Amino acid sequence: MKCIIHRRAQFSASHRYWLPELSEADNQKQFGLCAKAPGHGHNYVLYVSMAGELDAYGMVLNLSDVKHIIKREVTSQLDFAYLNDVWPEFQATLPTTEQIARTIWQRLAPYLPITNIQLFEHPELWADYQGNDMEAYLTISTHFSAAHRLAHPQLSYEENCEIYGKCARPHGHGHNYHLEVTVRGEIDARTGMIADLVQLQSLIDQYVVEPFDHTFLNKDIAYFAEVVPTAENIAVHIRDLLQAPIGKTGAALHKIKLIESPNNSAEVYCGVPETSHTPTTQSQPELATV
């Protein structure tokens, strides 16, 4: 029986976004604060996903062996290092989150049956790489607070209560929504980036966070005047708002995940969803909204 396992590791390292062929002004324009000397640091968290058949001992791989390989090939070399200098790959291509994930895959693939490398630069930014040449995924996590009421406009109060329970009460209720926006694209061979991170964050703020934050969704967002603002419908609307603007950055919107509460979340894709082989820091998606 085939099974996918995940191994977590971590390392602390610094890096700097700086291209010697650009002037100081051009580096600062392109990379912002990340261009400042002598660099800045992160506590990186790494998840290595591996697939295989269960052996007679109930294991895909011996995790002690996996731990040793990850330490030998990756964390012992990167921990407390200046990434720009530690590996030759990072001298040709800047050590962005995407490029680090890709390089870790290349370093581990000869020894482990990897299906995904997931690297967290911090809790609100991470990359996934699945061995597809220069293609990678980058996820930005953010949040907004809003109220909503679950009630279909063509149904009576009693009918809505039967469907939505307490969520149909007239004055609504609120959530601290957590939003994950995943984009995919080709890693630039020189900058190491899928797209301009500052631009992506700005678009998410412009089209979602600022309009949605501290609102009553049913009344303040025109789309939800006739559409019930369930977690699923909110996720679909956010996808539709972001797909075209993000497409202009050179990346493509891949997935929207909206976490309504620790118990309820929904995710929608731009296209056919892929089978996930990656661990998640939040609860698995559920379509219930109660």
Identify the bridge partners of residue 122 per DSSP, sorted by sequence position: 125
Residues designated as active site = 167, 214, 260
Distance (Å, rounded) from C-alpha 117 to C-alpha 127? 8
Strand, helix or coil for residue 112: coil
Q: Identify each DSSP E strand in the chain by its residue range.
A: 2-15, 40-53, 81-82, 114-122, 125-129, 135-148, 173-186, 215-216, 252-259, 265-269
Distance (Å, rounded) from C-alpha 98 to C-alpha 137? 7
Distance (Å, rounded) from C-alpha 223 to C-alpha 27? 41
* Tokens linked to 97: 């989150």
Per the CB < 8 A criterion, the answer to whether 239 and 232 are in contact is no
Task: Report the candidate in 60, 52, 47 with the shortest Cα–Cα distance to residue 7.
Answer: 47
Alpha-carbon torsion, ordered 76, 73, 98, 234, to 10 deg:
-80
